[in-house]
Structure 1
Amino acid sequence: MKNIYITSGTEHYLRQVLEEHPTHSLQLLQNYSNAIILEESENPTVLKEAATYRLLQSRGEMKGYGSVTFEYVMVRDEEIPIFLKMYQTIVNILSDTRGLQCIQLGQSKTQNKFLIITFWDSEKYYQAWKTTPYHAEVIKIMEKNNSQIGFSHIDTYRFPEFSHDFK
């Protein structure tokens, strides 16, 4: 089974990790305050400290540019089947959404936390998606469970855009 591994750190450190493992499928992602590496693999990760999620579903193909959104959703045990059904509905609708490259669902190996990763051609497409009632359903679950079992949140990153970003 394929896993999703995520680690964060300073951009300088993460670039060293990329240089040390050129044959691994590691993706550097950035936002204004943070940098992360995303790895998908059936093998153990090369990352020293990484959050691990089982990849439950993936649709589409990551293109290596644009915007990436991580929606961390805490779910109580009894709500997991409801959440998974809702996710399936959303993924079927999202598949036809303009600007979407790929959508993935991961489940934490240590908590009742799910991770919805969406890869977009640009952030404007994600912003348009946020106005839909389907996205509102995800937010409703996140808000409902925040005070009960953990902290749900959304992080948005981008692939490095300029040639100096890759150095």
Structure 2
Amino acid sequence: MLYITYGTVHYLIKLVEAHPDLNLRLMTNENTGILFHETDGKTIFNEPKSYEVLDSNGSLTAGSFAVFHHIPVSHEGKPLFEKLFSDRARIIEKQQGFSAIRVLRPTKNDTYIILTLWEKEQYYKAWVESDSYNAAYHKGLQEKSSFLQPSFVKKYYAISLEA
């Protein structure tokens, strides 16, 4: 499972420092801090957004730039959407600067997340501008009836807690 919580960076840093033994990852953007916890057990978060990990590659502790691609999928479209990602060509894993991916199924809503981590933002930008990206992300996504509303992207940057 992958659990996500949002808050002020100051508050989230306190959580990370209080639980150095857990697999927590802290990031931020211009609006908020985000902390994610990947575990097979329970999370320390009080009211997390929770996701089942359908597919993964790489470590969430790697990379300094994260992209959360939020994709609202209809109930009827979920099997097709999940098959699309289970059959993916895994082209992204071969991209320069790629660190990790998680394909996340929501436990309480209809918005899936494709989480990718990159060594630097420039590598993500190069991926999005490549022909490989178009082949990987647009194949099968033409079936509009599977999507409740347009997808959207949120980007985050790693926060280093080292002095």
TM-score (norm 1): 0.81
After superposition, the Cα gap between the structure-2 partners of 1:32 and 1:19, relative to the gap in structure 1 and judged at 3 Å, is same
Q: Distance in 1 between matches of 2:14 and 2:61?
A: 23
What is the percentage of aligned positions where both structures have the same residue?
A: 27
Deviation of 1:134 after TM superposition, in Å, equals: 3.6
Deviation of 1:62 after TM superposition, in Å, equals: 3.4
Counterpart for residue 5 of structure 1:
3
After superposition, the Cα gap between the structure-2 partners of 1:41 and 1:63, relative to the gap in structure 1 and judged at 3 Å, is closer
Amino acid at match of 1:159: A
Structure 1 residue matching 2:76: 3-state secondary structure = helix
In the alignment, does 2:100 pair up with 1:64?
no
Q: How many residues are treated as equivalent by the alignment? A: 159
Worse-superposed segment, 99-108 or 152-161: 152-161
Taking only aligned residues, the RMSD between alpha carbons, in angstroms, comes to 2.6
- After superposition, residues 1-167 of structure 1 pair within 5 angstroms as 3-90=1-88, 92-131=90-129, 132-134=133-135, 137=138, 144=144, 149=148, 152-161=151-160, 165-166=161-162
More helix by share: 1
Q: Distance in 2 between matches of 1:156 and 1:135?
A: 20
Structure 1 residue matching 2:4: 3-state secondary structure = strand
Deviation of 1:33 after TM superposition, in Å, equals: 2.1
Structure 1 residue matching 2:13: 3-state secondary structure = helix
Runs of 4 or more consecutive aligned structure 1 residues displaced over 4 Å after TM superposition: none
Q: Distance in 2 between matches of 1:159 and 1:150?
A: 29
Deviation of 1:98 after TM superposition, in Å, equals: 1.4
Q: Distance in 2 between matches of 1:22 and 1:79?
A: 39
- Are the counterparts in 2 of residues 73 and 114 from structure 1 also a CA contact under 8 Å? yes
Where do 5+ consecutive residues of structure 1 fail to align? none
Q: Distance in 2 between matches of 1:145 and 1:19?
A: 44
Amino acid at match of 2:51: Y
After superposition, the Cα gap between the structure-2 partners of 1:128 and 1:86, relative to the gap in structure 1 and judged at 3 Å, is farther
Deviation of 1:92 after TM superposition, in Å, equals: 1.4
TM-score (norm 2): 0.83
Deviation of 1:100 after TM superposition, in Å, equals: 0.7
- Are the counterparts in 1 of residues 25 and 60 from structure 2 also a CA contact under 8 Å? no
Deviation of 1:14 after TM superposition, in Å, equals: 0.8
